[in-house]
C-alpha cells in the first residue's frame, strides 16, 4: 500500500511539473515592429572585410538607414522553438545587385518572411536570447525576389502576456536582382486570445 501511494504521489508530481513546463511554450503573439534597412554596411563588408569596416568605423548609423514598419506573428512549437511570420515595408531607393538595373527613385519595398527562432531559454525567463533563420520574399516596383534571413535577437518579457523583441538579421539574396542587407527591428506585442 505504501509503494502504491508513493508511486501515485510521484505520478502526480511528474504530471504537475509537465503541465507547469507546458505553460512556457509561447502562446500566439502579435507584435508591431519598427526597424531599419541597411544596404550600405552590407556592401562595404562585401567589397572589403568585416574587420576593415569595424576598424574604420564605417558601420552605418541609424540616420543612414531606411526606416521600416511592420507586424509579426509568433507562436511556440515547443518551449525553446518558435516560428514567426513577418510583414514589413519601407520606402527606399533599392540598390540592385545587377548594376544594369537601377531603381532610380524611392518606391515601397514590401518584405515578408517565415522564420524559426531557436531560444536558449524558455519564456519563463525575463530575457531570452535566440537565433533565427528562415526564407523570405520581397516586392519592389513589381519585381519579386527571394532571400534567406539569418540573425539573432533578444526577447524581453514585460509581463505574462507582453513582450519586447529586438532582432538583427543579415538577409542573403537568392535571386539575381536582390541585394545583401542588414535588417534591424524592435517589436512590441501581446499574446492573443484568453489571458
Ranking 22-26, 44-48, 87-91 by mean pLDDT, the lowest is 22-26
Q: Which three cell numbers stand for residue 113?
A: 518572411
Does residue 7 fall inside a structural domain?
Answer: no
Residue 135 has a pLDDT of 96
**pTM for this model (two decimals):** 0.78
CATH code, 178: 2.40.160.20
Domain count, the chain: 1
pLDDT digits (tens, 9 = 90+) for 72-120: 999 999 999 999 999 999 988 888 776 655 556 788 899 999 999 999 9
Does residue 4 fall inside a structural domain?
Answer: no
Angle, CA of 72, 62 and 135, to the nearest 5°: 35
Question: What helix, strand, coil percent values describe the chain, rounded to 5?
Answer: 20, 50, 30
The pLDDT of residue 124 is above 90: no
Q: Which domain holds residue 114?
A: 26-191
Amino acid at each position: 500500500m505504501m509503494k502504491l501511494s508513493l508511486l501515485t504521489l510521484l505520478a502526480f508530481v511528474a504530471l504537475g511539473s509537465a503541465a507547469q513546463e507546458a505553460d512556457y511554450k509561447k502562446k500566439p503573439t502579435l507584435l508591431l515592429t519598427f526597424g531599419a534597412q541597411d544596404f550600405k554596411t552590407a556592401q562595404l563588408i562585401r567589397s572589403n572585410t568585416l574587420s576593415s569596416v569595424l576598424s574604420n568605423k564605417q558601420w552605418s548609423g541609424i540616420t543612414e538607414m531606411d526606416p521600416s514598419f511592420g507586424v509579426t506573428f509568433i507562436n511556440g512549437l515547443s518551449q525553446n522553438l518558435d516560428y514567426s511570420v513577418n510583414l514589413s515595408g519601407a520606402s527606399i531607393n533599392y540598390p540592385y545587385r545587377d548594376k544594369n538595373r537601377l531603381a532610380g527613385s524611392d518606391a515601397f519595398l514590401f518584405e515578408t518572411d517565415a522564420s524559426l527562432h531557436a531560444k536558449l531559454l524558455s519564456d519563463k525567463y525575463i530575457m531570452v536570447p535566440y537565433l533565427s533563420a528562415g526564407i523570405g520574399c520581397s516586392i519592389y516596383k513589381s519585381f519579386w525576389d527571394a532571400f534567406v534571413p539569418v540573425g539573432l535577437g533578444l526577447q524581453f518579457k514585460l509581463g505574462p502576456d507582453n513582450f519586447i523583441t529586438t532582432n538583427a538579421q543579415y538577409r542573403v539574396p537568392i535571386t539575381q536582382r536582390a541585394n545583401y542587407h542588414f535588417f534591424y527591428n524592435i517589436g512590441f506585442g501581446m499574446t492573443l486570445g484568453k489571458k
